[in-house]
């Protein structure tokens, strides 16, 4: 089968799948368009996910924790009164079919997006969640590991993570990412790689698109859900692997700036970033300024699990199969 993964102009490696699932059909990516009147474009009323599919030992692709991502997707959609029209099982099937049809043979990143589209007849213009049609698109990109395993430098952002009384922070809402984009922009302008955002109480919430872990006085700590963070699937994976494989329990409690100053290790977790060591925060080295032993052990365990090398976690992997299966 010919691969439907196209090359970026000038690139020798394919980067973006030329197919999308759009309005219930698999279509060439250029046909997956929305009009400028799209409500979600104007008001940020969409929800999305980021899911990875990894090449396994047999050369095939498997989606990692797709079902869990789609459960969060459906919870996010419910918050915005978006009817996705498919349950998590069917969304997993559509995703596998999309990846099969692209013929992709490299690690991929899947981006489902459910959004408010057009005013229904009789609905007056305005910012609203009812009286507006819903839509679903899924597309996929080629994406290998991009995080710097040697460690990144992060700033503490002057932008605060909104509290849940301001924005539904546990839902992955497109409009909410203005906050994240501003934090990244500020951090990069100051020469950092990423930003850690504090919540309205001045405690660590999360980084721009990942959760934060720290080893403080020998204890692995991550902020609790009440710290106004997105409950990461990777965060959950890391908590599970730390307990199962390394006999390390995670404490869920608030992290302050002083904890970050004291920490022996800090790392970020996210589907895109995977596990990334933080070696400097706001101009101060974290611990010895190099990735710590627990971060390194978790990174190794994580990469084995996502590639199906640890039989105990096969239930997190959904083989995509080939177009001829
Ligand atoms: C704001 C934010 N926090 C945390 C995460 C990490 O979540 P996950 O591990 O499910 O990718 C993400 C990425 O989805 C994110 O965008």
* In-domain check, residue 147: no
> Helix 66-79 crosses helix 233-246 at what angle (to 10 degrees)?
140
Determine whether the shortest distance from the Cβ of 235 to ligand 1 is under 6 A: yes
Tell me which residue has tokens 């299966």.
325
Give the CATH number of the domain where residue 167 resides: 3.20.10.10
Task: Give per-residue pLDDT as tens, 298-322.
Answer: 999 999 999 999 999 999 999 998 7
* Boundary (domain end) residue, out of 142, 163, 196: 142
Please tell me whether residues 85 and 184 are part of one structural domain.
Answer: no
Q: What pLDDT was estimated at residue 148?
A: 85
Q: Which atom of ligand 1 approaches the CA of 206 most closely? A: 3
Please list the alpha-helical segments (H only) found in the chain: 39-43, 66-79, 88-102, 177-189, 233-246, 257-262, 293-306
39 within ligand 1 shell (Cβ under 6 A): no
**Alpha-carbon distances of 219 from 171, 227, 247, 266, rounded to whole Å:** 29, 19, 12, 11
Domain's final residue, options 114, 142, 170: 142
Q: Would 25 be classed as within a structural domain? A: yes
161 and 293 part of one domain: yes
pLDDT single digits (tens) 175-198: 999 999 999 999 999 999 999 999
The verdict on 97 and 157 lying in the same domain is no
Query: What are the catalytic residues?
Result: 172
Same domain, 121 and 171: no
Question: 202 and 118 in one domain?
Answer: no
* Residue 53 DSSP symbol: E
Q: Is there a single domain that holds both residue 176 and residue 34?
A: no
291 part of a folded domain:
yes
Same domain as 193, residue 84: no
CA 211-40-49 angle, to 5 degrees, is: 30
Inside any domain, residue 315: no
**Does residue 65 have its Cβ closer than 6 Å to ligand 1?**
no
Q: How far is the CA of 324 from the centre of ligand 1 (A)?
A: 34
Residue where one domain finishes, among candidates 116, 142, 168: 142
By alpha-carbon position, which residue is closest to atom 13 of ligand 1? 209
pLDDT at residue 144, rounded to an integer: 85
In a domain, 316, yes or no: no
pLDDT value of position 323: 66
Q: Let me know how many helices (H) and strands (E) the chain has, helices first.
A: 7, 18
**Ligand 1, pocket-test mutation among 198, 227, 271, most atoms within 8 A of CB:** 271
Mean pLDDT per 10-residue section of the chain, whose length is 325 residues: 48 65 95 96 98 95 98 98 98 97 92 98 96 97 87 98 96 98 98 98 98 97 98 98 98 97 97 97 96 98 97 97 69
Residues 137, 180 within the same domain:
no
* DSSP line for 146-206: -S-TT-EEEEEPSSPPPPTTTS-TTS-BGGGHHHHHHHHHHHHHTT-SEEEEE-TTSSEEE
Q: Does residue 45 form part of some domain?
A: yes
Cα end-to-end distance, the chain, whole Å:
12
In a domain, 250, yes or no: yes
28: domain CATH number? 3.30.470.10
Q: Are 298 and 174 in a shared domain?
A: yes
Angle at CA of residue 316, ends 96 and 86, nearest 5°: 45
Burial class (CB in 10 A: 0-12, 13-18, 19+), 307: middle
Instruction: Please tell me the predicted confidence (pLDDT) of residue 7.
Output: 47
Do 114 and 183 fall into the same domain? Answer: no
* In-domain check, residue 132: yes
**157 and 103 both lie in a single domain:** no
Per-residue model confidence (pLDDT) at position 5:
57
pLDDT (0 to 100) of residue 45: 98
What pLDDT score does 2 carry? Answer: 45
CA of 224 from ligand 1 middle (Å) equals: 14
Query: By residue range, what is the domain housing residue 63?
Result: 5-142
Same domain, 173 and 135: no
Pocket of ligand 1 contains residue 232 by CB under 6 Å: yes
Total tally of structural domains belonging to the chain: 2
């Amino acid at each position: 089968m010919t691969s439907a993964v196209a090359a970026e102009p000038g690139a020798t490696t394919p980067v973006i799948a030329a197919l999308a699932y759009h309005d219930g059909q698999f279509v060439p990516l250029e046909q997956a368009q929305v009009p400028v009147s799209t409500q979600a474009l104007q008001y940020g009323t969409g929800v999305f996910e980021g899911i990875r599919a990894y090449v396994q030992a047999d050369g095939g692709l498997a989606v990692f924790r797709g079902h869990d991502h789609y459960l969060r997707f459906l919870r996010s959609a419910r918050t915005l009164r978006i009817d996705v029209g498919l349950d998590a099982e069917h969304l997993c099937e559509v995703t596998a079919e999309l990846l099969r049809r692209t013929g992709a043979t490299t690690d991929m990143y899947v981006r489902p997006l459910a959004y408010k589209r057009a005013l229904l007849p009789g609905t007056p213009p305005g910012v609203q969640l009812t009286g507006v049609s819903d839509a679903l698109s899924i597309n996929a990109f080629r994406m290998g590991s991009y995080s710097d395993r040697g460690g990144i430098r992060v700033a503490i952002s002057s932008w605060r993570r909104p509290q849940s009384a301001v924005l539904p922070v546990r839902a992955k809402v497109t409009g909410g990412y203005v906050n994240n984009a501003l934090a990244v922009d500020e951090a990069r302008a100051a020469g950092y790689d990423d930003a850690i955002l504090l919540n309205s109480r001045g405690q660590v919430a999360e980084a721009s698109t990942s959760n934060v872990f720290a080893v403080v006085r020998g204890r692995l700590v991550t902020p609790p859900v009440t710290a106004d963070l997105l409950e990461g699937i990777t965060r959950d994976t890391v908590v599970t692997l730390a307990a199962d494989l390394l006999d390390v329990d995670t404490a869920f409690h608030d992290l302050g700036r002083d904890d970050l100053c004291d920490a022996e290790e800090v790392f970020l977790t996210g589907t895109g970033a995977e596990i990334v060591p933080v070696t400097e925060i706001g101009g101060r080295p974290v611990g010895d300024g190099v990735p710590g032993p627990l971060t390194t052990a978790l990174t190794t365990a994580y990469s084995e699990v996502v590639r199906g090398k640890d039989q105990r976690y096969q239930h997190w992997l959904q083989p995509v199969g080939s177009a001829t299966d």
